[in-house]
Amino acid sequence: MLKPQIILSRPQLGENIGATARIMYNFGLDNLRLISPRDGWPNKKAITVSSGGGQVIDNAIIYNNLNDSINDLNFV
């Protein structure tokens, strides 16, 4: 079964990344890709808001641009 990869492009707030990680964790998704987070990475606010989704945060992969983030995906 293919699991979706969630990609956030240039997220502005760590809280948004954390909320996304928490929702992903609730639904059994664990592949988060971040493209150039504005406030840098890692981000304390993202970790705080993730509330249980810390594994998603820990495994997030950072990319510089969209093309790099989708390079290994078959369906976009």
Q: What is the pLDDT of residues 12-61, one digit of tens each?
A: 999 999 999 999 999 999 999 999 999 989 999 999 999 989 999 999 99
Which phi and psi angles does 36 have, rounded to 5°? 45, 65
Host H or E run for residue 35: strand 32-35
Long-range pairs for 57-60: beta carbons < 8 A, 24 or more residues apart: 57/17, 57/18, 57/21, 57/32, 59/30, 59/31, 59/32, 60/17, 60/21, 60/32, 60/33, 60/34
Which residue's entry shows tokens 């971040």? 34
Q: What is the pLDDT of residue 13?
A: 95
- pLDDT at res. 3: 86
